[in-house]
Structure 1
Amino acid sequence: MDKRVTVLLPNARRQNVSVTANMTLLEILETACAKHGYDSDEHCLKFHNKVVSLTQQFRFSGLPNNCVLEMEPTEKRRVLSSVVVCVQLSDGSREQGDFSPNDTVWQVVQKLCETQVLGYESPIIVYMRSEVIGQEKMQETTLKSLGILEGRAMMRLIDKKPEELKTQANVYKPPEVKPKSRADDDDQPSTSRSAMAAGGHGGGGFSLTSNMIKSLKRTAPDEQATAANDKAEPSGKAETEKEPEPQAAPKYDWGSGSGYSLAHRQQRQNQLESNEGEDNPGRPPPVVNVIGPRQAVLFSLDETKKQADDLPDSFFDLTVNDLKMVLRDLKRTSTGDDDAPLLTAKLRELERQKTMLAKLNQYKDCVLRIQFPDRFVLQGIFKPHEQLAKVEEFVRQFLAQPGEQFHLFTIPPKKVLPSSETLLELNFVPNAIVHFGFLKDGLNAINNRFVQEQYMGQLTSEEGAHYAVQKYRLTRAASPEANR
């Protein structure tokens, strides 16, 4: 659909400007000024009597289609100032420098990363969601045309063919619509269809009404009444009924803890043995290479290829069990903290300590993943009461430059973690992901690697990293000595 905005000029005339998603508001102002002889540096744009930023692209400005923008003179002439441009390369390193908004993108690339761009067949600069493809296009595109007028800007320089950009992970491909057979319609429960009809939405969306809740209360049996009826039933009748199929436990559980009760040890041991003895000829076992203490494994995020399975339309249909869970959540919300008294600072601190003690009792260890700028991830298992300094010692023995000072931080926003606090105080139990960075500015990795080269040949798949955690926790739960 064509998009346009209407600019109301100071002489009360209107000018329609056709816009695109990547067009900046400055370009809209310059287009209107050029057709009526105004100086764009002496005017600004307003929407609902508020000055809009000219550096924004139209897709991120929040302005609706066919909106009316008022052009008014500014108090003083707009002066272009130098901007700081940072270019991130494909290996994760960054280069930055000062430029004028009138400089071209090619001048930025030549100044910051001239040696790297020589080896690229098709260099592409990505800024926001704008793509400047090829040397000729970079020479024609200025920083001002991208909306970079002041402050700082971040770009990415990649080497890809233009047609490969359409196959990125953020490009959505709708699944093919499969014809729905009559048999599938008959298999759907009647309550699911009635719930969809009451909601008035298709494809999984629904809205709760009072009639749906009343119907759900009538159809959903009470758990206590069901348990009482089961005890009162004769043994012969119970044998004729079909036993429900047990739910299969997930093989890999990134969020499961290590605090298991004694009553479930045998069950955990049986689950571990069944997972290890599972015969699946169509799928190879996960690759697990332990490279150091604390069950350390190293894997790369670039080698992980996750493909989303196309789900059938019946997956998004509501069932009775789905509505049961919705009703349960509504009950919890209605009986929540609406009428709870306000807590003082001392009571809040007491609640926080209770939560920490509960975690300490439930989880005997926590899994920590340290992600490097080159997208390699180091995984280790620690105790909740250990300080972050232990994690730093663990990371240092794998670094290619162990003598350099570094820090660990979480994002977003960036928060540098203190070495003196424990993992429990940092809320890293049962698992967490932290990032690695050198303290010295401009210090890069050796041969684009932060981890020693000897560990590059002992990589583990991401699935293997999940499997290693699950196996470790199940082994601890099954061993009485490990829990003492």
Structure 2
Amino acid sequence: MEKRVTILMPNGRRQNVGVKPDMTLLEILETASGKHGFDSDEHCLKFHNKELSLTQQFRFSGLPNNCVLEMETTEKRRTLSNVLVCIQLTDGTRKQGEFTPGSSVWHVVQQLCSEQIEAYASPIIIYMRSEVVGVERMQQTTLKSLGIIEGRAIMRLVDKKPEELKTQANVYKPPSEAKSKAADADDQPSTSRSAIGGAGGGGFALTNDMLKSLKRSAPAEKSSGEKTDAAVEAEKSAEAEQPKYDWGSSSGYTLHKSKKDDQNEDDDDEDEEENAGRPPPVVNIIGPRNAILFSLDAANRHNDDLPDSFFDLTVNDLKMVLRDLKRTASGTEDAPLLTANLRELNRQTAMLAKLNQYKDCVLRIQFPDRNVLQGIFKPHEFLAKVEEFVRGFLATPSEEFQLFTIPPKKVLPPTETLLELNCVPNAVLHFAFVEDRLNAETNCFLQDKYLTQLTSEEGALFAVQKYRIHKASVSSS
């Protein structure tokens, strides 16, 4: 269906403008202004008396089809200033520079990536969801036509054929076998309108057959009798909130800590079978707080292929979905209104419970060169202690830096504790110098003597697991 908007001009006339999803509001304004002889730099677009940003594309503006926009005169003439453009290459490196909005995309690429563009057979610039394919299109496309007229913007430069961009990756559907008409009649649900769609955005619908299977399984659960108090407590502990980053259970080398003496021998046998022929990973402690340094580039990540049966929907899956939906509905509808004092009391209670549960927290500080520094801290320590710990490993410790979390980027104040910053039990912090010039010019953030003592990512996970088991054994004794 053709999309268009109606512009109510200052002279009282109406102008219909055909739009495309990747068309910017600035292009719509210029098209309407050009047909009636108005200067687009002296006017703006409003929707329901709210001024619209001309830099956004129509698909992201939230405007409905066939909407009516008002074109009004601005108080100050719109002037174009230099914009900061950053281009990200396929290897992750970024190059940036200042350009005028009238500069072509090809001029920007030549100025920032002149060496890399020579090796590209089919260069493509991707901004937002707009794709500028080929050198000719880049020469014809300006930054202003992409909606880049102020502030800063980032683009991606890739080397792909245009037809490869239309291919969706990681999608596989095995061919279904031909079934007889009788089998199709038996397997077909009663009515298509009986589906309860959109189970909380779960990606499937609950049909009558699924609900019948749930009802059949319900009497069997009731006949088994009521749950004992121990079973209820076990279920509550199983539904406890999981840590943000579960590093302790991700190592390829497994350690177990049994709580019962009669299970120690069985756990030892399982450890020997699981770790048979696999030596423990090498761990290099390079400083206090069990400091470990490893690189994300050298990490070997294995993505195991899941069997097709993993994606089959079972009755237990449906039970879990319905349970989560009921819990969400009861939490939003039946939740009482809380005052500011009660919300603060709940927050303090949650912090005390977390402080009682976790005696240590593991922090990972990721540097722009993809090196990660790992250390162990106490929940009540201030972030200033973490900054002091990081400064001891820097090649230039005199430079000012900051630690932040993403997304969105939030610079952490050094006067708050790790518990208040929600860094317990685990957290990943990012490192950056206060001066952007140092982040671009500095090739080595850490001292060379520490870069020669790298530990594998598996070794870092193994060190955390071993430390926690050691602390648990000491506290129990």
With the length of structure 1 as denominator, give the TM-score of the two structures. 0.71
Structure 2 Cα separation of the partners of residues 336 and 76 of structure 1: 45
How far did 1:365 drift?
1.8
> In structure 1, what is the Cα distance between the partners aligned to 2:7 and 2:268?
71
> Partners of 1:265 and 1:431 in 2: how far apart?
30
- Following superposition, the deviation at residue 145 of structure 1 comes to 0.7
Matched, 1:87 2:86: yes
Contact kept, 8 Å, 2:41 with 2:79, in 1: the verdict is: no
Is 1:255 aligned with 2:246?
yes
Q: CA deviation at 1:319?
A: 0.9
How high is the sequence identity, in percent, across the aligned residues?
A: 44
2:152 counterpart SS class: strand
Displacement of 1:358: 2.0
CA distance in 2, matches of 1:223, 1:256: 38
Measured in 2, the distance between the counterparts of 1:148 and 1:417 equals: 30
What is the deviation of 1:117?
A: 3.1
1:7 is paired with a residue whose SS is strand
SS at 1:422 equivalent: coil
Distance in structure 1 (CA, Å) of the matches to 2:261 and 2:364: 27
Question: Residue in 2 aligned with 1:402?
Answer: 397
Asked if the contact 1:388–1:421 (Cα under 8 Å) also holds between the matched residues in 2, the reply is: yes
Match of 1:292 in 2: 286
Check 1:413–1:165 CA distance in 2 against 1; reply closer, same or farther (3 A cut).
farther
**Preserved CA contact (<8 Å) 2:105 2:143:** yes
| Alignment-derived partner of residue 22 in structure 1 | 22
Matches within 5 A, 1:347-358: 348-358=343-353
Letter in 1 for 2:431: F
Letter in 2 for 1:179: S
Distance 1:365 1:181, change over 3 A: farther
Q: Kindly state the Cα deviation for residue 436 of structure 1 after the two structures are TM-superposed.
A: 0.6
CA contact (8 A) 1:385 1:423 kept: yes
The residue number in structure 2 matching 1:177 is 174
- Structure 1 52/285 Cα, relative in aligned 2: closer, same or farther at 3 Å? farther
Cα separation, 1, equivalents of 2:283 and 2:257: 30
In the alignment, residue 326 of structure 1 is paired with which amino acid? Answer: L
Check 1:334–1:176 CA distance in 2 against 1; reply closer, same or farther (3 A cut).
closer
CA distance in 2, matches of 1:269, 1:471: 19
The aligned counterpart of 2:371 is 376
1:7 is aligned to 2:1: no
CA–CA distance in structure 2, aligned partners of residues 403 and 356 of structure 1? 35
- Ranked by relative contact order (alpha carbons within 8 Å, sequence separation 6 or more), the top structure is 1
- Looking at structure 1, the residues matched to 28 and 333 of structure 2 have their Cα atoms a distance apart, in angstroms, of 50
Q: How many angstroms does 1:13 deviate by? A: 5.5
8 Å CA contact retained: 2:46, 2:72: no
Seen in structure 2, the aligned counterparts of structure 1 residues 333 and 320 have a Cα distance that, compared at 3 Å, is same
**Partners of 1:73 and 1:332 in 2: how far apart?**
45
Question: What residue ranges of structure 1 are gaps of 5+ in the alignment?
Answer: 229-246
TM-score, normalization by structure 2: 0.71
1:258-310 deviation per Cα after TM superposition (whole angstroms, max 9, x unaligned): 9x9984587589657734641688xx889654352415141316856565846
* AA of the residue aligned to 1:437: A
Distance (whole Å) between structure 2 residues aligned to residue 270 and residue 364 of structure 1: 28
Task: Report the equivalent of 2:323.
Answer: 327
Q: Given residue 298 of structure 1, which amino acid in structure 2 is its aligned partner?
A: F
Aligned residues: 438
State how far apart, in whole Å, the 1-side matches of 2:43 and 2:390 are. Answer: 55
Q: Greater shift after overlay, 428-437 or 47-56?
A: 47-56
Counterpart among 315, 325, 338 of residue 334 in structure 2: 338
Structure 1's 331 and 59: CA in aligned 2 closer, same or farther, altered over 3 A? closer
State the alpha-carbon separation in 2 of the partners of residues 177 and 299 from structure 1. Answer: 38
Structure 2: gaps (5+ residues): 230-237, 250-255
CA shift for structure 1 position 433: 1.2
In structure 1, how many angstroms separate the alpha carbons of the residues matched to 2:378 and 2:54? 51
Q: Residues 146 and 396 from structure 1, CA distance in 2 versus in 1: closer, same or farther, beyond 3 angstroms? A: same
1:162 aligns with 2:160: yes
Alpha-carbon deviation of 1:435?
A: 1.0
Change (3 A) 1:83 1:147: same
Compared CA separation, residues 256 and 133, structure 1 to 2 (3 A): closer
Matches within 5 A, 1:181-330: 199-201=195-197, 205-206=204-205, 217-221=218-222, 224-225=225-226, 254-255=245-246, 263=259, 271=267, 274-275=270-271, 277-278=273-274, 289-293=283-287, 294=290, 296-300=292-296, 307=303, 309=305, 312=308, 315-320=311-316, 322-323=318-319, 326-327=322-323, 330=326
Partner of 2:446: 451
Q: CA deviation at 1:408?
A: 1.0
1:235 matched to which residue of 2? none
Name the residue aligned to 1:239. Answer: none
Give deviations 1:178-210, integer Å, cap 9, x for gaps: 42698xxx9xxx9xx99x99644599523599x
Residue 421 of structure 2 corresponds to residue 426 of structure 1:
yes
Deviations 1:71-114 (A, max 9, x none): 534255743231431425556566453x4322333454566x4x
CA distance in 1, matches of 2:174, 2:25: 39
- 1:415 correspondence with 2:410: yes
Aligned to 1:243: none
Task: Spell out the pairing of 1:31-70 with structure 2 (5 A cutoff).
Answer: 31-34=31-34, 39-47=39-47, 50-64=50-64, 66-70=65-69
Quick one: structure 1 residues 331 and 351, their matched pair in 2 at CA, closer, same or farther if it must change by over 3 Å?
closer
From the superposition, tell whether residues 413 and 227 of structure 1 become closer, same or farther in structure 2 (CA, over 3 Å). closer
When residues 101 and 325 of structure 1 are mapped into structure 2, their CA distance, relative to the original with a 3 A threshold, is closer
* Residues 269 and 474 in structure 1, CA contact (< 8 A), matched pair in contact too: no
SS of aligned partner of 1:385: coil
